[in-house]
Amino acid sequence: MSILVVNKIDEIRNVIKNYRNQGKSVSLVPTMGCLHEGHKSLIKKAHELADITVVSVFVNPIQFCPGEDYDKYPRTLDADKIAAESAGADIIFAPSVNEMYPNMQKFSDLTIVTPPFELTDIMCGKSRVGHFDGVETVVTKLFNIVQPDYACFGKKDIQQLFLIKKMVADLNIPVQIVDCPLVREDSGLALSSRNKYLSEADRIAAVSISKSLSAIKSACESGIKDIKKLLDLCIANLDKKIDLEYLEFVDKNTFKKIDVLNGPIICAIAARIGAVRLIDNIELEV
Ligand code: AMP
């Protein structure tokens, strides 16, 4: 059976309803497309968990801030069909912007799902103001449209994963969120659709992002707990071409910013090479 591509909300609802009537379970992998091995690992997990796997491919305009790369974000649906099918997906749901946000003139026309300020006034939420409102809103819509039993999200977007789990718990959305490991190139570079924008030289420089996180992990393991020292170590390890946007340490369980390293911690980084913004993170046990 070749993969089914559905563009309309009514149609995906009918397709899912038919599977439900046959007693089949459903998993969902929300993506913005330009699928790579990181996305494929989520799709493989989703395929293991449920009878029917849906991959959504939607470049969500309301999660991009003004001046970001919405217009030039890579759109590669033909290649995505092949990648999704090879990883075990049954259906791609690829709606248009008008299908998801009919007649939207501006963001403030919409009903929005907003995460708590304290959890977004850090990391990516702080540098991309409003980004997680856009993410939570589109993910809620996708959950309501597909009504999956399981939804798989990658640890690459660690703040997003935390906020989605909290949203599902706070709003009693009947879906099980499944964490999937961050997939890297052999070089250590975290796979990202935005890696496509990097030149060969930029890509070599980008490897220093994961190297700087590994250096922090080794330093913590050897007893260094001073955040200022760890920040200096990070900067010393970053290629000169790279601009650090943030390096932050948060409690893994609460996602509150911490001043003293203690317990399970997420160390997260965002950095830019020219116009390309990349993120990565590592877990520390201190
Ligand atoms: P995106 O298409 O970038 O919105 O990502 C869709 C999903 O794929 C999110 O749950 C991401 O966390 C996940 N993802 C993206 N890159 C990776 C990666 N390198 N490893 C694991 N998951 C990833």
Altogether, the residues listed in the chain come to a count of: 286
100-144 pLDDT, tens digit each: 999 898 888 999 999 999 999 999 999 999 999 999 999 999 999
Alpha carbon of 30 to ligand 1 centroid (Å): 9
159 in the same domain as 201: no
Question: From atom 12 of ligand 1, which residue's Cα is the shortest distance away?
Answer: 154
- Closest atom of ligand 1 to 193 CA is 3
Q: Which of 152, 180, 208 is the last residue of a domain?
A: 180
Q: Give the residue numbers marked as catalytic.
A: 39
174 in the same domain as 32: yes
Of the listed ranges 102-106, 187-191, 198-202, the one predicted with least confidence: 102-106
Task: Report the distance separating Cα 227 and Cα 235, nearest Å.
Answer: 12
N-terminal to C-terminal alpha carbon distance within the chain: 49
Question: From atom 7 of ligand 1, which residue's Cα is the shortest distance away?
Answer: 31
The predicted pLDDT at position 1 comes to 61
Q: Does residue 186 belong to any structural domain of this protein?
A: no
Pocket test for ligand 1, best of 32, 34, 35, 39 (most atoms within 8 A of CB): 39
Alpha carbon of 38 to ligand 1 centroid (Å): 6
Task: Report the distance separating Cα 242 and Cα 19, nearest Å.
Answer: 48
For a pLDDT cut of 70, what percent of the chain falls above it?
Answer: 100
Per DSSP (E only), the strands in the chain are 4-6, 26-31, 52-57, 91-93, 150-154, 176-180, 242-251, 264-273, 276-285
263 in the same domain as 233: yes
The predicted pLDDT at position 107 comes to 86
Q: Does residue 187 belong to any structural domain of this protein?
A: no
57 in the same domain as 143: yes
Please report, for the domain that includes residue 91, its CATH number. Answer: 3.40.50.620
Q: Does residue 285 belong to any structural domain of this protein?
A: no
CA proximity to 270, closest of 242, 240, 233: 242
115 in the same domain as 199: no
60 in the same domain as 9: yes
CA dihedral sign of residues 160, 165, 166, 172: positive
What average pLDDT does range 16-20 have in this prediction?
Answer: 98
134 lines ligand 1 (CB under 6 A): no
Counting the structural domains of the chain, the total is: 2
218 in the same domain as 149: no
Q: Does residue 270 belong to any structural domain of this protein?
A: yes
Q: Does residue 36 belong to any structural domain of this protein?
A: yes
Q: Does residue 91 belong to any structural domain of this protein?
A: yes
Question: From atom 11 of ligand 1, which residue's Cα is the shortest distance away?
Answer: 154
Contact 125, 152 (CB under 8 A): no
197 in the same domain as 150: no
Q: Does residue 281 belong to any structural domain of this protein?
A: no
Q: Does residue 33 belong to any structural domain of this protein?
A: yes
Alpha carbon of 34 to ligand 1 centroid (Å): 10
Does residue 279 sit in helix, strand or coil? Answer: strand
Question: From atom 18 of ligand 1, which residue's Cα is the shortest distance away?
Answer: 38
199 in the same domain as 87: no
39 lines ligand 1 (CB under 6 A): yes
What mean pLDDT value characterizes the chain?
A: 97
Structural domain containing residue 21: 4-180
222 in the same domain as 119: no
53-87 pLDDT, tens digit each: 999 999 999 999 999 999 999 999 999 999 999 99
Task: Report the distance separating Cα 78 and Cα 60, nearest Å.
Answer: 18
pLDDT at 90 over 80: yes
Contact residues for 17 (Cβ-Cβ < 8 A; gap 6+) = none
For a pLDDT cut of 90, what percent of the chain falls above it?
Answer: 96
What average pLDDT does range 78-97 have in this prediction?
Answer: 98
Alpha carbon of 153 to ligand 1 centroid (Å): 7
122 in the same domain as 166: yes
256 in the same domain as 199: yes
